[in-house]
């Protein structure tokens, strides 16, 4: 039996990019991939423009809260995707790391956040394709029986 892959999204404040990425992955992969997000210096709350941009596509991230990046969350993840957290992101051998260069939505309105949201969606679709077996229908757990 195989376990489902796990992904950790990390940005500085865990309030915009990483939260949108986590929202997209939960929406598009269902329960087939375990989703985490964290920040090296978490904000007090999620960016309202990121929440609004995601609501426009039917994804509610308003119930999420920024979380601190921990060694344990990195160790428990198969894939770590960083979005501008720099040297604060710990490195562990055997993990798959990707650094996504994305505009920071902090301080921007929803009009400026939409392109970031859409770029994240495209990257999430590629990520899912790389992690899940071909032909696995949406919503199917990524577990062998």
- Respond yes or no: is residue 89 known to be catalytic: yes
Residue 122 falls in the annotated catalytic set: no
Looking at residue 102, the DSSP 8-state letter turns out to be -
Is 58 catalytic? The answer is: no
Name the catalytic one among 11, 35, 59, 116.
11
Interacting residues of 11 by C-beta distance below 8 A, sequence separation 6+: 17, 18, 39, 82, 83, 84, 85, 104
Name the active-site residue from 29, 89, 102, 131: 89
d(CA 130, CA 26): 16
Q: Name the catalytic one among 83, 85, 102, 120.
A: 85
Structure tokens, 136: 């696995």
The Cα–Cα gap between 135 and 115 comes to: 29
Beta bridge partners of 38: 10
Q: Which residues are catalytic?
A: 11, 85, 89
């Amino acid at each position: 039996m195989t376990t489902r892959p796990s992904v950790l999204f990390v940005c500085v404040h865990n309030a915009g990019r990483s939260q949108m990425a986590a929202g997209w992955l939960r929406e598009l992969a269902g329960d087939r991939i375990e989703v985490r997000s964290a920040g090296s210096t978490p904000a007090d709350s999620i960016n309202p423009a990121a929440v609004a941009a995601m609501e426009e596509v039917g994804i509610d991230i308003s119930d999420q809260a920024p979380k601190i990046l921990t060694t344990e969350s990195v160790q428990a993840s198969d894939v770590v995707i960083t979005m501008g957290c720099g040297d604060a992101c710990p490195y562990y051998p055997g993990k798959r790391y990707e650094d996504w260069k994305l505009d920071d939505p902090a301080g921007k309105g929803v009009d400026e956040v939409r392109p970031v949201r859409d770029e994240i969606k495209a990257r999430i679709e590629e990520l899912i394709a790389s992690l899940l077996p071909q032909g696995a229908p949406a919503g199917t757990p990524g577990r062998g029986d």
